[in-house]
C-alpha cells in the first residue's frame, strides 16, 4: 500500500491536531504493510516532517527543478492513498481520506478566526466530496457529521486518539522544572488549553475567583497553552488575577515541562464547551490527576465516570465543584484510580492500527 500523509498541521508549537499528525507520522513509518510513505505539506513533498516540528526551514527548491518537483508531487498524490488528518485533501488529490476532528467551525463560527472560517467555506465541501472515507476522533463527532452532512454511516469511522506513555504519575523528586517556576507539587490547579472563546477560560477564572480566599491562594490556577485569538479581555483578566497572585499564565510549554505540570497539579480543569476528543483531560488522568470537565460535546464519552462534570456558565456551581474537588480526599483517591484506568484505554498503537484498518478498507475498494 502506498500512502501520502498531509502534514500541514505540524509546527514548532503543535496543537492537538499537530500532535495527532506527528503520531501518525511516527506510527505509519513503522508499519510493514505500507510499501511507501510520503509526506505532503506547504504545497510540496517533504522528506523530513520532523523539520516542521523543529521549526527548521525546508530545503529550498531550485528554480530549475520546481516544475519536475511539482509534477512528482501531483503524481504521488494521484498514485497513493492520501490522508488529510486536518480536515482537507490537497487540491491535486483526486480522492482519499480526511479526519474531521470536530464541527466547531460550523457550530461556533464566532469562536474562530475569520480566515479559518473562510478556508472551510472554500475547501471543506470539496474535500468531503472527494473523500472515500472520513475518520473522526469520537463517536459523538461521527454522529454529528452523519447528521449534519448526510454522510453514509458506512463511510465514516470513529478512531479514538491515544495518550503518549510519557504522561504518567511522577514522584516529587522528578518535578524539578516546577521548582524553577516557583510551583509546589500538589499545590496548584491546572488547565492546558489554547486561549480561545469556546475553551471557557474566562469562566474558569471567574469560578476560581469565587473560591474561598485561603483556598484560592493555596491552590493558584496555572494556565498553559497558546495565546489563541479573540482574547484581549481574557488577557486583561489573567493579568489582573496574576497581579493578585492566584493565576499564573505560562503560555506554550515544551514537552518536558508539560509532563511535569500535569503530574504536579492538584486538579486539572477543562471547561471547554465543544471538543472533538479532548486530549488534555486524558493526559491529566494518565498523569494520576483528578479531572473536572465540562458536561458537553464528546467529553463525557471520553472521560466516562473518571471525571466530575460542570456547566462552565454556572459560575457558582462551577466554583463549588472546584472547591469540593480540591477538598474531598475520598473522591480524589477514587478519581485518580479511575482516571489511570480510563486513560489506559487510549493509546497511539491502537489508533494507528484502527487507522490502518480504514486504509485497507478504502484501498481494497478502489
Paired sense of beta strands 189-192 and 267-270, if any: parallel
How high is the mean pLDDT of the chain?
A: 93
Residues 250, 220 within the same domain: yes
Residues 95, 176 within the same domain: no
In a domain, 167, yes or no: no
How many structural domains comprise the chain?
2
Where does the pLDDT of residue 60 fall: very low under 50, low under 70, confident under 90, or very high at 90 and above? Answer: low
Residues 355, 334 within the same domain: no
Q: Give 298-334 pLDDT, tens digit per residue.
A: 999 999 999 999 999 999 999 999 999 999 999 999 9
pLDDT for 55: 83
Residues 26, 151 within the same domain: yes
Q: Among residues 93, 97, 72, which one has the least CA distance to residue 83?
A: 97
* Concatenated DSSP letters of 26-73: HHHHT-TT-SEEEEEETTEE-S-THHHHTTPPPPPPPGGGHHHHHHHH
Q: CB neighbours (10 Å) of residue 340? A: 17
pLDDT at 258 over 90: yes
In a domain, 352, yes or no: yes
pLDDT at 59 over 70: no
Q: CA-to-CA distance for 366 and 82, rounded, in angstroms? A: 13
Residues 154, 201 within the same domain: no
Residue 21: CATH number of its domain: 3.40.50.2000
Phi, psi of 34 (to 5 degrees): -105, 115
pLDDT for 112: 83
In a domain, 123, yes or no: yes
Confirm whether pTM is higher than 0.85.
yes
Q: What percent of the chain has pLDDT over 70?
A: 96
Residues 38, 127 within the same domain: yes
Q: CA-to-CA distance for 206 and 238, rounded, in angstroms? A: 10
In a domain, 122, yes or no: yes
Residues 154, 182 within the same domain: no
pLDDT for 357: 97
pLDDT at 229 over 60: yes
327's grid cell = 477538598
pLDDT for 17: 93
Half-sphere exposure of 286 (CA within 13 A, CB side): 21
pLDDT for 66: 54
Residues 235, 271 within the same domain: yes
In a domain, 20, yes or no: yes
Residue 258's domain spans which residues?
A: 172-343
pLDDT at 63 over 90: no
What is the pLDDT averaged over residues 146-165? 96
C-alpha to C-alpha distances, 17 to 24, 100, 201, 314, 350, nearest whole angstrom = 11, 10, 20, 30, 17
Q: Give 106-153 pLDDT, tens digit per residue.
A: 998 887 888 889 989 889 999 999 999 999 999 999 999 999 999 999
Q: Give 11-31 pLDDT, tens digit per residue.
A: 988 888 999 999 999 999 999
Q: Give 338-359 pLDDT, tens digit per residue.
A: 999 999 999 999 999 999 999 9
pLDDT for 197: 86
Amino acid at each position: 500500500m502506498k500512502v501520502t500523509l498531509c502534514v500541514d498541521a505540524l509546527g514548532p508549537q503543535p496543537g492537538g491536531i499537530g500532535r495527532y499528525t506527528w503520531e501518525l507520522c511516527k506510527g505509519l513509518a513503522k508499519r510493514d504493510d505500507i510499501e511507501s510513505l510520503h509526506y505532503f505539506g506547504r504545497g510540496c513533498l517533504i522528506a523530513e516532517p520532523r523539520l516542521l516540528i523543529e521549526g527548521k526551514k525546508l530545503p529550498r527548491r531550485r528554480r530549475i527543478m520546481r516544475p519536475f518537483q511539482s509534477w512528482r508531487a501531483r503524481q504521488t498524490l494521484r498514485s497513493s492513498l492520501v490522508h488529510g488528518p486536518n480536515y482537507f485533501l490537497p487540491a491535486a488529490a483526486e480522492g482519499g481520506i480526511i479526519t474531521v476532528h470536530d464541527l466547531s467551525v460550523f457550530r461556533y463560527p464566532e469562536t474562530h478566526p475569520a480566515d479559518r472560517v473562510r478556508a472551510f467555506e472554500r475547501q471543506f465541501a470539496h474535500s468531503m466530496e472527494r473523500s472515500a472515507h472520513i475518520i473522526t476522533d469520537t463517536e459523538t463527532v461521527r454522529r454529528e457529521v452523519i447528521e449534519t452532512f448526510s454522510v453514509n454511516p458506512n463511510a465514516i469511522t470513529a478512531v479514538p486518539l491515544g495518550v503518549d506513555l510519557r504522561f504518567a504519575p511522577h514522584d516529587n523528586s522528578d518535578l524539578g522544572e516546577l521548582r524553577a517556576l516557583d510551583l509546589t507539587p500538589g499545590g496548584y490547579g491546572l488547565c492546558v488549553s489554547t486561549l480561545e472563546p469556546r475553551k471557557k477560560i474566562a469562566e474558569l477564572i471567574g469560578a476560581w475567583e469565587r473560591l474561598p480566599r485561603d483556598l484560592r491562594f493555596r491552590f493558584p490556577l496555572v494556565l498553559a497553552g497558546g495565546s489563541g485569538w479573540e482574547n484581549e479581555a481574557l488577557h486583561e483578566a489573567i493579568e489582573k488575577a496574576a497581579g493578585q497572585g492566584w493565576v499564573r499564565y505560562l503560555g506554550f510549554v515544551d514537552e518536558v515541562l508539560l509532563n511535569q505540570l500535569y503530574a504536579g497539579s492538584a486538579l486539572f480543569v477543562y471547561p471547554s464547551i465543544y471538543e472533538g476528543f479532548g486530549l488534555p483531560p486524558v493526559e491529566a488522568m494518565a498523569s494520576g490527576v483528578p479531572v473536572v470537565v465540562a458536561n458537553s460535546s464528546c467529553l463525557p464519552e471520553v472521560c466516562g465516570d473518571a471525571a466530575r462534570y460542570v456547566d462552565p456558565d454556572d459560575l457558582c456551581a462551577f466554583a463549588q465543584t472546584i472547591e469540593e474537588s480540591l477538598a474531598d480526599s475520598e473522591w480524589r483517591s477514587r478519581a485518580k484510580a479511575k482516571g489511570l484506568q480510563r486513560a489506559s484505554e487510549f493509546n497511539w498503537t491502537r489508533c494507528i492500527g484502527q487507522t490502518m484498518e480504514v486504509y485497507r478498507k478504502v484501498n481494497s475498494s478502489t
